[in-house]
Amino acid sequence: MNPARRCSALLSQACISKLEGSATRRAFSPASAVLPSRCHYPGGEKVGRQLKSLGASTTVPGHNVNVSVCPMGNNSSRLLSALAQTLNSIPLDQTEENLDQKDVIELDPDQLLRESKEALRRRPARPRRDLIYPKDAVPCRHKLGPSIRVIQWNILAQALGEGKDGFIRCPLEALNWKERKYLILEEILTYRPDIVCLQEVDHYYDTFQPIMASLGYHGSFLAKPWSPCLDVEQNNGPDGCALFYRRSRFSLQTTINLRLSAMMLPTNQVAIVQVLNCRLTGQQLCVAVTHLKARSGWERLRSAQGADLLQSLQSLTAKNRGSHVQSGGTNPLVVCGDLNAEPSEDVYRRFRSSPLGLDSAYKLLSTDGQTEPPYTTWKIRSSGESCSTLDYIWYTRNVLSVDCLLDIPTEEQIGPDRLPSFHYPSDHLSLLCDISFREAL
């Protein structure tokens, strides 16, 4: 194992061990990380660079490493340049939560969207996608409050896209972070979600956290203990899951960071679970984001990871039962994730048959309401073409209703070179739906 990856793993393991000893576990912030003493080795500059990219305050013995917040990367943006200057003036020992709530400038989402479009003017437009309204949607008179917009998206880690995934039909120029980040922001800003669930995030601290905070979101991030991004030269640190919610719509009750287990053994996959209080309705909503083990041959591991997550969610929702529980005695729950599993896999059946009463939102796009989309990811690697349904938004069907969903682009819209591309930043499609609390009957 290379030394940089070993140090990252040690940091993550120390963090997770600490988190597991607490009933209510806060999201790990690398700003408080200390480099383990066993990581004294030649080449410490690389670890310093990796921790620097995370915003960590540390010293690598024997080397001059001046750690500061990573720049935004594209000085052509007035908004982002101002934001970068603000970040560079913030003490490094400041916590993620504090950074969310003070010492950040407010960004105008419309102006940032215009800047994103300007930065992308030489690229073809993103595929047009329409909002589809299910024919059997619950009537408005049976809903509590306005809809909550949720987006689920594996955004493709920058280090993996450029260094490991091998998208043979996608030019490296299309994966340039200085422009690709604007494609990702454009997608989010276009739909203005209340909750954002992301996977393969390796630019959290230098891009997504500060920008989303300045747009009014609170964010949490949890890195994989053994991120494959660290095997790539010039990486930006480990990738992981991120969860954002709009502060004007929700307040936070509980955050739990999970390292998923299989057969009592910890694995490399993680999940963030948060219990939110809706400011408009007074209802509680539990939201989870995860990313299960990839590739064929690991079906049993994915099933075990899914079972572990579902068990944790059952325990959490049982503890939070009370006046906020809806009809049927079930807490409202939304689980977003790249499960890396087709609907034929056992882990999908676990979610569908769980005592939590979960259903998959995107089945509602089908004519029978029982069939998943034909694909949520479509890519071409040297090993061949892969067109699969791996991404899902699950919801408790008896207490939440799905009001509308973002449709899936056609094969023609995606194009013959598939994803990612100049007009789409990830090999996975974003999923989006509006959900509402059902009125108790």
Model confidence pLDDT, tens digit, residues 90-103: 443 344 444 445 56
Would you kindly state where each structural domain of the chain is located, as residue ranges?
3-73, 131-438
Residue 80: what pLDDT?
57
Give me the mean pLDDT over the 34-59 stretch: 35
Question: By C-alpha distance, which of 59, 56, 89, 87 is closest to 72?
Answer: 87
- Please, which residues bridge with residue 148 across strands? 435
Q: How far is CA 421 from the centre of its chain?
A: 20
Give me the mean pLDDT over the 314-339 stretch: 75
Burial of residue 52 (CB within 10 Å: 0-12, 13-18, 19+) is buried
Residue 16: what pLDDT?
38
Indicate the pLDDT class of residue 339, thresholds 50, 70 and 90: very high
Tell me: the pLDDT tens digits for 139-198? 887 888 999 999 999 999 999 999 889 999 999 999 999 999 999 999 999 999 999 999
Q: What are phi and psi of 337, to 5 degrees?
A: 180, 160
Element (H, E) at 33: none
> What are the distances in angstroms from CA 221 to CA 19, 93, 197, 327?
14, 17, 10, 32
Question: Hey, what amino acid is at 31?
Answer: A
Question: Hey, what amino acid is at 307?
Answer: A
Question: By C-alpha distance, which of 310, 287, 314, 149 is closest to 220?
Answer: 287
Confidence check: pLDDT of 85 > 60: no
Domain 131-438 architecture: 4-Layer Sandwich (3.60)
Residue 235: what pLDDT?
94
Give me the mean pLDDT over the 232-248 stretch: 96
Residue 53: what pLDDT?
40
Q: Identify which has the larger pLDDT, 321 or 127.
A: 127
Give me the mean pLDDT over the 284-310 stretch: 97
What 3-state class would DSSP assign to 247? coil
Q: Which of 87-91, 109-113, 302-306 has the lowest mean pLDDT?
A: 87-91
Question: Hey, what amino acid is at 201?
Answer: V
Residues 37, 254 contacting (CB under 8 angstroms): no
pTM, full prediction: 0.80
Residue 286: what pLDDT?
97
